[in-house]
Amino acid sequence: MRAVEITKSYLKECVIHHRLDENKNTHLEHLEDLIFNDGLAGGKEAINYLISFYDMLKGNAKTQFNLTTKWDGAPAIFCGIDPSDGEFFVGTKGVFNKSPKLNKSLADIKVNHPDKVEKGETKSAEGLRKKLANAYTHLKKLNIKGVLQGDLLFSQEDLQTANINGEDHIVFKPNTIIYAVPSNSELAKEIKSAKLGIVFHTEYVGGPTLADMNARFGYDSSGLAKSNDVWYRDAIIKDYSGQVTMTKEESEQLKVYIENANSSLSQVSNLDFLKNNEFGQDLRQRIKASVNKIIRDFGDFEKDAESFATQFIGDYKEVMKKAIDKLSSDAGKVRKTQVMLDGIKFLEENKKQIVNAYVVYLDLIRAKELIIKKLANIRQIDTFVQNAEGDYEVTGEEGFVAVDHIGNAIKLVDRLDFSVKNFGTGRPST
């Protein structure tokens, strides 16, 4: 096995080019998915992040990135000053639509976020409208100069009380994870007096319009004005010294995992099945969808690369057959069938590449899981989930985000924990 030398010279050789989705922070990628997104370059980038984590967890103060907590808030809130007219706005991801939904008044919120009718049933958006109205009313008080993105944690009506392990807590559940703060703490007093809580993690720079601005992850909120009506934080972990330093055994194990990933990557001669064309881009999404399907169905990753490749090709056939069945014309079905047959032939011819890429994928996951286990010692607010009996069970944060020096970011999430919960009944129905 060829070992990787954990040095800064190696870091410089790694290609760093991953970007937030279309320069907008509307989607963060898992570290291990970089091998599917960008092939060899993505694999090198993932290893680069792992090496930086290795250095950090060994106690090296000079890390290659900023570390942030991935809070489990919802919905995503975009707010600040529209550079085109200087007016304050709030919104959701719709602010980046071709026809942007920027709410610059309470009236705009009603217009931009109406109830929807799907399959003859009306789905109310009243909950979202209330949250946006609350955000519009109070976030203006922070004197935001640019454009920010954050995750909404609570509005006042979301706060509840619960007795956990014999102690009263203020609890709120914005998405899947329950956040709990002891009721007699100063933090609880701050939260109870606030009209809403939000964690900011991204700022947008550039212009002259919102569409022209680019995301810069790792926002520092210290320059915002104070308001008792808004409990806010940024996601940056200010100090993790002494909390996550690895033992000698853990350090050696992580080094082995990184060496394995690097060795596996050396076996990947090319990734032609992920070509930079429409077909290749489609496959990138399909291969990640196959991984999620297996996690959703079985609560675990497929550990055998050959079996995964077979499963992936089978998933491709299934999806294409469903698409063919939906077509009404015989000519359309013939054309689509030929596309499917060509696709299957291509995947069978490149099956070995899929296998090799997935081996790297598994190696990256093993290293990532060890890192997450150590980072779980960092806690800002206690986090729980409720089991079927209604009891509170301790859980970790949703995950963590590593942001490099030019603002690129990847997420580290325990997909066999948080992602399974998110696929299941943990997500609120409203």
Residues 6+ apart with CB under 8 A from 79: 88, 89, 90, 91, 135, 139, 144, 147, 148, 150
Residue pointed to by tokens 């203020």:
170
Token pair in block for residue 277: 């064309």
Query: What is the rounded CA–CA span in Å between residue 145 and residue 150?
Result: 15
Residue 136 lies in a domain: yes
pLDDT at 254 over 50: yes
Percent of the chain's residues with pLDDT above 70: 87
Mean pLDDT (whole number) for 349-377:
91
Q: What is the pLDDT of residue 430?
A: 29
Same-domain check for residues 189 and 323: no
Residue 107 lies in a domain: no
155 half-sphere exposure, CB direction, 13 A CA radius: 17
Residue of 315, 335, 274, 248 whose CA lies nearest to 58: 248
pLDDT at 133 over 70: yes
- Domain of 335 in residue numbering reads as 8-70+242-373
Residue of 372, 375, 354, 272 whose CA lies nearest to 308: 354
Residue 430 lies in a domain: no
Mean pLDDT (whole number) for 122-143:
96
Contacts 24+ apart (CB under 8 A), 241-249: 241/59, 241/61, 243/377, 243/378, 244/56, 244/57, 244/374, 244/375, 244/377, 244/378, 245/57, 245/58, 245/59, 246/57, 246/58, 246/374
Same-domain check for residues 50 and 121: no
Per-residue pLDDT tens for 49-81? 999 888 888 876 565 677 888 899 999 999 999
Same-domain check for residues 206 and 258: no
Local confidence band at 23 (pLDDT 50, 70, 90 cut-offs):
low
Number of domains in the chain: 2
Q: What are phi and psi of 325, to 5 degrees?
A: -60, -25
Residue 428 lies in a domain: no
Residue 54 lies in a domain: yes
| Last residue in a domain, options 234, 255, 273 | 234
| β-strands 230-234, 196-205 pairing | parallel
pLDDT at 247 over 90: no
Same-domain check for residues 16 and 161: no
Same-domain check for residues 210 and 328: no
Q: What is the pLDDT of residue 27?
A: 62
Per-residue pLDDT tens for 170-216? 999 999 899 999 999 999 999 999 999 999 999 999 888 898 898 88
For 4, 41, 307, 413, the CA distances from 303, given in Å and listed in that order, are 23, 24, 8, 18
Same-domain check for residues 252 and 348: yes
Local confidence band at 11 (pLDDT 50, 70, 90 cut-offs):
very low
Same-domain check for residues 203 and 286: no
Residue 406 lies in a domain: no
Residue 335 lies in a domain: yes
Per-residue pLDDT tens for 278-327? 777 888 889 999 999 999 888 899 999 999 999 999 999 999 999 999 99
Token pair in block for residue 14: 């790694």
Same-domain check for residues 224 and 246: no
Residue 106 lies in a domain: no
Per-residue pLDDT tens for 397-426? 778 888 776 667 888 988 887 555 555 433
Same-domain check for residues 192 and 259: no
Alpha-carbon Rg for the chain, nearest whole angstrom, is 23
